Structure 1
Amino acid sequence: MTPDQIIAAIGLLMAEPDPAFETLRAGGFDARYPVTVEACPETTSPLDVEGQTIICGTVSVPENYNEPDGRRIPLEFALGRAHSSNPFDDAIVYLHGGPAGGALSAIGASTEIILGDHRPHRDVVTFDQRASMLSSTTVRCNATMAENIVDLVRTVESAPTPEGVEPFDLGAFFKPCIDELYASGADLPAYNTENNARDVRALMSALGYPEYNIFGISYGTRLALEVLRTAPEGVRSVIIDGVAPPNVHLYDDLFGPHADSIETLFDQCAAQPACAEAYPDLRQTFIDLGTVLTETPVPAARGMPAINADVFYNTINQRTKLSEHWVRDLTRYLPRIIHELAEGDPTTFDWYMSTYAENADAPQSAADLLGPAGATLSGDERALALSVLESAQSMSDQGEGVAAVMTQLKHDLVAGTVAVSVAETFDQRASEALRELSHDEIPAAVQGYARMQAGEPTRAAIGYWVLAHFHGPDQTELMSLVNAMSPDDIARTFDIANVELDKYQGTIENLMGLRIYACQEDFPFNSRDNGARLLSEFPYDVIAGEEGRAALENIYTICDLFEPAPRDGFQEPVVSDVPVLVAGGTNDTQTSWKWSHLAAETLSNSQVVIYPNSGHGASLYSECGRDINAKFILDPGAELDLSCVESLTPQFVLPDATLP
C-alpha cells in the first residue's frame, strides 16, 4: 500500500456518506426493480467503509421477464464508489464466470483487483447472478442438502470416510436435488443467459446508471455478449476476457482449448531459432511423452513423487489459473522438461517443483524474488535490484499492517463496539456441547442443524434441535438460552447457521448453478455422440487422461437428468457495433484464445489482444494487460497501443543452460 493510497483511504473513512446511497436505501432508482440495502459480506476491501464508500444489498428482478408480476429473484450486489471526487457517470460492472461462480465471496477481489484500475475514475459494481451463490436462494435443494450434510462436510473438508461407511458419491446427489428443484415451484428454464442479460440491465438501472461498461471473464463473456444481443440499451463499452462464444461446443470440445494452448507453445519454440534447434519436432515429443508417462511413470524412488501422465499435465495446466503464481515462470522451461521426461529424465521438472511448488506459500527473500534474472546482472546492478526488492517487501509488510488497522477502524466507525448477543452465546455453547457427543451422535446432530437452518427461523425450531440431540446439563443450559432469545436473537441464530453451512451449501450451489445453465441451454447443441467424436480425434493422450475423460462423462450423465430448454438463436454469433475489447491468453485451457477471434468476427467495433504466457482472465496477469484495459475503458473508440504485449512472450531455456 503506497502512502498516497493510505492517505486516500483515511480520507474515505472520514468522508460523509454518499447522497446517492440514500436513494438506494429508499428503494433505488427504478421502481420496477426495488433495491433493499443489506450488510455487506465480510469480503470487502480493508479500504472500504460500508455505507460510505461501498454499499450492498439486493435488487428484486422477475424470475421470468414475461411474467413481471410473478415470482421474484433477489440479486445480491456490491457497489463501490469511485475514488475520484468527480468521477465519470458511467459505472463498470463485473460479470463473473461459472456459470454460477459468484463474485460476492470475494468482493475486494472484484473492486480492487479485477476492477481496481477503473475505480479511480468510475463506480464499480459486482453481483452474484441468478442461481449463483448468494443469489441462489430461489433454486436451492435445502432438504437434499440437509439429508447429505455429513457427507458433504467430509467431502469439502477432505475428511476420511469412517470404516464401514459407503464413500459419498457426489454425482448421486444431483438426482434428488434436481427432483427437489423441479418440485419447488421454481421456473428452472427461466434461469438462463438471456434472462441473466436482462438482469444486468435491470441491476444497473436500479442502481442509477443509465449508461455503463461491462467487464466479463469466462462465462461472464458469454453473458456480456448476450447483453449486447438481448439488452444492449445503455452499454457504452465491453471487455470480454477468456471468451466463451455461444456458437462453440463448449462441453463437447472440453479438451480443445488444452490443445490450442500446448500447440501455441510448440509454435513459440519453433519461432525462436535456438529453441527450434534444441528441441526439434517438439509436438511429436509431447505426443510420445503421453505414452512414456502412462506406461513407465518416473518412480518416486528418487526422493520426489512419482510422475505419471496426470501428475505431469495437471502441473503444467496450473498455468491457466491466475492465483497460481508459482507456475508463472514454468513456460520457459517446458520444452526442456518435455524433452527430458520423454527420455525418462526428471531433472528439470524436479528442480522446478522443489524450487517453486514446495515453497509456493512461503515468504520469499529479495534474492528469491530476483530469481534467475539475477545471474544476468553485474555486481552493482544486482545490489541495486536487491535493495529495491527489499524496500518493496518492507512497504508490503507495512501495507499489510496498515490494512489490518484500517479494517479495525472501519468496523469501529460503522458498527462501534458490539456486545456478544444471546445468539452468539448460544452458538459458542452449542459448539462445546457438540464436542461432548459420541461419534455416532454427532452426524445426526449436524444433519439436524442443517434441517433447522433450511426451515422457518423460529424459536421452536431451535428448541426442537436442542431437545433432539443434547442431554443433561448441556440441554438445560442451551434451552435456557433459547428461551432468553429475542426475535433479533432468533434471526441472528439462523444467520450464524447460514454462515457456518455456507461453505458446504456453496459447493452445491456452484455445481448445481453451473448445470442449471449448461444442461438446459447448451444441450442438445452439445451431445455425448459429438463429444465422443471429438475425443476420438484428439491427438494428445497426456492431456485427455482418465481424470479428464471422467469429468467429460460426468457432464453428460448429470445433464441427462435435466429437461433441455434450448432457445432459438442462442447458439448464433452475437452481432454488435458497441466497442468491445476481446482478450485471450495462450496458456488458457478453459477457453481457447482462438475463440477470441471467433467472437470478434461479428463485433464490427472490436479490438483483439492475445496475451502470451497468460491464462484464464489473461489481461489480469500483467501490468501490460491491466493498462490496456484501463485505456480502453477511458476511450473505447481509440486504437490501442499493444506494443507491451510482445514482451510477454517467454524466452525458452536451452538444454545447456545452468539451472539457478
Structure 2
Amino acid sequence: MSPEQIVALIAALAAEPDPNAFASLKAGGANPDYPVTVTPCARPVAPTEIDGQTVICGTVEVPFDHRAPEGARINIAFNLYKAHSLSPQPDPVIYLHGGPGSGTVIHVAKTISYFEHLRGRRDIIAIDERGVDSSAPEMDCYSTLGEQLGPVVEKKAGTDVPSLSLDFIKGCLDELESKGIDYSLINTEQNAMDVPAVMSALGYDSYNIYGVSYGTKLTMEILRQDPPGIRAAVIDGNAPPWLPLYSMFWESHSTPIRKTLEPCERDPVCNAAYPDIISRTFALIDKLDSEPVQGPNGKVGLEEVFFTFDNRVDMTGKYEPLSPYMPLMIDQLEKGDTTIYDRIAAGELPPKPATADDDTVRAAAQAAGLSASDMVLVDAMLSAANHIRTAGDTVTRTAQALEAGLDSEARNMDLAEIFDDQLAQAIQSLEEAEARLAAGRDYLDLRFVTPSVDPLITLANAHFEEKTASAIVALARQLDPGEVARVFDLIRIDNQATVKDVEGDLQLMLYACQEDFANGWNSPEKFRELMVAEGSWGPVMQDILVGGLAAYFVEPCALFKKHPRENWTSVGSSDLPVLSMNGELDTQTAAVWGALSVQNYSNAQMVIVPESGHGTIQFSQCARDITAAFIEDPEGNLDTSCVEDLRLPVMLPDGTMHPLPY
C-alpha cells in the first residue's frame, strides 16, 4: 500500500462508521419479497477491506422453491464490495463460483482479489450458491458427522478412510430427509432463479454476470431463463449443460496436450524437428505404462509424463511454463533418454529468474566501475529497498491486527474466545479417544441449541472431571448475553470447518447426481464410447480415466433419486452479449468446450488464452484486460491481440529456442 492508502486505512478504521454506508441493506434490502440480513464478514477483511464501509456481508432470504414462493425459504449468503469509484456505474458484476461446492463468501480478501480489475467502476457481488457452504447451514449434517466423528478425525490425521465419503453421503441424505428438506430443489434451475432475486434484494436493476466453471453452467441456465436486468455475461472455463461433461472429462486432459503441441505441427521448423508429435505423445504415454524408461534418477512411466503435462496449472492459479520443453521431452523419452524430464523433475526447467542478494548487487556495481560516492548511494538504495519490503509486511500484519482488535472490542469477544479456547483444550485433554469423540459429538450438537449458558454448563459437567468442569462452569457464568451469542457463533464456525472436510463431495453430488447422471446422460459406458471415438487416448489411459469416473461418481450417484428437467440438455440460445474465455491448459473444462458453449449465442465473442488454466483471470493480465474491456463495452469491438504474445517458443533438439505461431 502507498502511504496515502495507509493513512486512509487508519482513518477509516479509527473513524465512526458512516451511518449511510449500505443504508438500504441495513434496513432490510430493496425488495421486501427477498429480505436482507446484514451479518459480520468472515475475518480477517483488512488490510484491503473494512467491514461495513468497503464491503458488507449478509444473507438474502429467497424461496426454497421459486415456483411455490409462499413455502419454505433458504438464505443465500453474499459479500458486496463497493466500487472504488465515487461515481460508479449502476450495473455491478456478480461472480458465480465453480464446483458446485467450495463456496466463496468466507474468503473475503481472496475472492475480491480475482475481480479488482473490474472494481474500479463497478460494485462486485459474490454469493455462495444454494446448498453450498454459507448458503445452506440448515443442510449441514451434524448428526451424521457426530456418528462418523471417529473416521473424520482419522482422515484429518492423514489416515485413509476409503468408505468415509460414501458413508457420509448416505447418512447425510437420510438426515436431510428426516428434517423434511427436499434436496431435489438444490439444482441449477432453482439456483438460477436465486440470482435475479439476490440482485433485486441488493437494489440493482441491471447487472453483469461472471461465471467460472460450474458458474458458467449456472450462467447459461440464467440466460436460458432470460430474467430482466442482465446487461452482459462472461463465462470463463466453460461447462455447458448440453454436453455430457462427466462423460467427457477425458477431453479436459487431452486438450491441453493438443493445444500445447498444435502450434508445433503448424510451424514448418518445429514440425520438421518433431513430426507427428501429437500422435507420438499420446502413443508414448500409453506405452510407458508397460515399458517405462529407466533414467539415472529412476523410472519414467505413464504417470510421470501424464502429470508433467497435467500439473502445469492447477485451480489455485499455479502455473509452470513447461510447454517449450514438451516436444523435446517426448522425443528423448522415445529414444530412452530422460534428460529433459529429469531437469523438469529437478526444478531446473523452466529456468528460475535470477534473484540477486545485496552482496551480488554490490559486486556487480563495483564491477561496473562505480565510484566510492556512487557506491554509498547503492548501499542507501539497497537499505531502503529492504526497509520497504519489511514495512510492507508490517503494514499488512498490523492492519489486520488493528481491524481484528477494533472488531473484537465492538463485539466484546475476548471472554467468549477465552471460553471457547478453554473448552476446546479441555476436550483435547481427555485421555481416552472415545471420551474425546463423545465430548466432540455433544459440542457439535450445540449448533442446534438456543444460545444460553445452561447447555455449556451441561456439557462441561457431563464430560470433564470436577476441577476442569468447575473452571469451565465458572467461566461460563461470567459470560454476558453478547458473549454467549459469540460463543455459539464460534461453535457454528468450528462446526462448519469440521463438516466441510467431508461435506464437499456431497455438495457436488447434490447437483451432479440428480441432474447430470439422470437418464444415462453421463455414464462410464458413454465416457468410454466418446473417448474411443475421439481417438486421442490409448487403451491403457482409457481404462484409467474410465475407472476414475466410476470410482468417484457411480456408487455415490446410485444413492440419489434422479431429477431430469425438460430441455436441460438442449442447446441454449441468447441475444445478450456473452464473452467466452477459455484457457488452453485447463484440465477441468476443455478449451474446445468454449465454442460449443456459445454455438447458438448470436452476440458472443470467444477467446482462447495460451498458457492459462481454469479461470483465465487467475493466470494472465491479458485475460483480465480483455474481460474488463468487455464489461466496460459489451457491444464494442474487443481487442484480443494481447493473447498472441502469450505463445511460448519451443526448444529444438539443438537446445535453441524457436518462436511459434499463435
Q: TM-score, normalising length from structure 2?
A: 0.87
> AA paired with 2:324?
R
Which residue of 1 is the match for residue 149 of structure 2? Answer: 149
Q: Could you tell me how far 1:168 is from its partner in structure 2?
A: 5.1
Task: Work out whether 1:338 is the aligned partner of 2:338.
Answer: no
Which residue of 2 is the match for residue 562 of structure 1? Answer: 560
* 1:277 alignment partner, SS class: helix
Which residue of 1 is the match for residue 614 of structure 2? Answer: 616
> AA paired with 2:355?
A
CA distance 1:356–1:419, change in 2 (3 Å): farther
Q: Could you tell me how far 1:348 is from its partner in structure 2?
A: 1.9
- Does the CA contact (< 8 Å) of 1:628 and 1:640 recur in 2? yes
Task: Work out whether 1:506 is the aligned partner of 2:504.
Answer: no
Q: State how far apart, in whole Å, the 2-side matches of 1:17 and 1:183 are.
A: 45
- Does the CA contact (< 8 Å) of 1:580 and 1:606 recur in 2? yes
Q: State how far apart, in whole Å, the 2-side matches of 1:476 and 1:84 are.
A: 55
Which residue of 2 is the match for residue 140 of structure 1? Answer: 140
Q: Could you tell me how far 1:48 is from its partner in structure 2?
A: 0.9
Which residue of 2 is the match for residue 526 of structure 1? Answer: 522
Q: Which of 444, 449, 453 is the aligned partner of 2:438?
A: 444
Unpaired stretches in structure 1, ≥5 consecutive residues:
369-378, 381-386
Task: Work out whether 1:236 is the aligned partner of 2:228.
Answer: no
Q: Could you tell me how far 1:336 is from its partner in structure 2?
A: 2.1
Q: Which of 208, 216, 219 is the aligned partner of 2:214?
A: 219
Which residue of 1 is the match for residue 365 of structure 2? Answer: none
Q: State how far apart, in whole Å, the 2-side matches of 1:302 and 1:448 are.
A: 56
CA distance 1:429–1:101, change in 2 (3 Å): closer
Which residue of 1 is the match for residue 121 of structure 2? Answer: 121
CA distance 1:475–1:39, change in 2 (3 Å): same
CA distance 1:37–1:389, change in 2 (3 Å): farther
Which residue of 2 is the match for residue 372 of structure 1? Answer: none
* 2:208 alignment partner, SS class: strand
Unpaired stretches in structure 2, ≥5 consecutive residues:
358-367, 370-379, 658-662
Q: Could you tell me how far 1:202 is from its partner in structure 2?
A: 0.7
- Does the CA contact (< 8 Å) of 1:149 and 1:450 recur in 2? no
Q: State how far apart, in whole Å, the 1-side matches of 2:26 and 2:17 are.
A: 16
* 2:75 alignment partner, SS class: strand
- Does the CA contact (< 8 Å) of 1:198 and 1:231 recur in 2? no
1:350-365 pair list within 5 angstroms? 350-355=342-347
* 2:503 alignment partner, SS class: helix
Q: State how far apart, in whole Å, the 1-side matches of 2:348 and 2:423 are.
A: 43
CA distance 1:365–1:630, change in 2 (3 Å): same
Q: Could you tell me how far 1:16 is from its partner in structure 2?
A: 6.2
CA distance 1:397–1:129, change in 2 (3 Å): farther
Q: Could you tell me how far 1:492 is from its partner in structure 2?
A: 2.3
Q: Which of 631, 634, 651 is the aligned partner of 2:632?
A: 634
> AA paired with 1:173?
F
CA distance 1:69–1:388, change in 2 (3 Å): farther
Which residue of 1 is the match for residue 537 of structure 2? Answer: 540
Q: State how far apart, in whole Å, the 2-side matches of 1:357 and 1:619 are.
A: 25
Task: Work out whether 1:406 is the aligned partner of 2:399.
Answer: yes
> AA paired with 2:483?
D
Which residue of 1 is the match for residue 588 of structure 2? Answer: 590
CA distance 1:56–1:388, change in 2 (3 Å): farther
Task: Work out whether 1:467 is the aligned partner of 2:467.
Answer: no
Q: Could you tell me how far 1:415 is from its partner in structure 2?
A: 5.2
Which residue of 2 is the match for residue 277 of structure 1? Answer: 272
Deviations 1:495-523 (A, max 9, x none): 22222233332233321111111111222
Q: State how far apart, in whole Å, the 2-side matches of 1:340 and 1:45 are.
A: 51
Task: Work out whether 1:478 is the aligned partner of 2:451.
Answer: no
From the CA coordinates, give the structure whose radius of gyration is larger: 2
Q: State how far apart, in whole Å, the 2-side matches of 1:648 and 1:506 are.
A: 38
- Does the CA contact (< 8 Å) of 2:141 and 2:499 recur in 1? no
Q: Could you tell me how far 1:11 is from its partner in structure 2?
A: 6.9
Q: Could you tell me how far 1:4 is from its partner in structure 2?
A: 6.7
Which moves more between the two structures, 173-182 or 460-469? 460-469
* 1:626 alignment partner, SS class: helix
CA distance 1:633–1:191, change in 2 (3 Å): same
Q: Which of 184, 198, 205 is the aligned partner of 1:203?
A: 198
- Does the CA contact (< 8 Å) of 2:152 and 2:164 recur in 1? no
* 1:295 alignment partner, SS class: coil
CA distance 1:314–1:551, change in 2 (3 Å): farther
Which residue of 2 is the match for residue 98 of structure 1? Answer: 99
Q: TM-score, normalising length from structure 1?
A: 0.87
* 2:614 alignment partner, SS class: coil
* 1:366 alignment partner, SS class: coil
Which residue of 2 is the match for residue 329 of structure 1? Answer: 321
Q: State how far apart, in whole Å, the 1-side matches of 2:381 and 2:308 are.
A: 32
Task: Give the total of aligned pairs.
Answer: 631
> AA paired with 2:187?
N
CA distance 1:312–1:451, change in 2 (3 Å): farther
* 1:37 alignment partner, SS class: strand
Q: State how far apart, in whole Å, the 2-side matches of 1:338 and 1:635 are.
A: 44
> AA paired with 2:139?
V
Q: State how far apart, in whole Å, the 1-side matches of 2:259 and 2:383 are.
A: 36
* 1:501 alignment partner, SS class: helix
Which residue of 2 is the match for residue 180 of structure 1? Answer: 175
Which residue of 2 is the match for residue 159 of structure 1? Answer: 158
Which moves more between the two structures, 37-46 or 210-219? 37-46
Report the RMSD for the aligned CA atoms in angstroms. Answer: 3.2
> AA paired with 2:202?
L
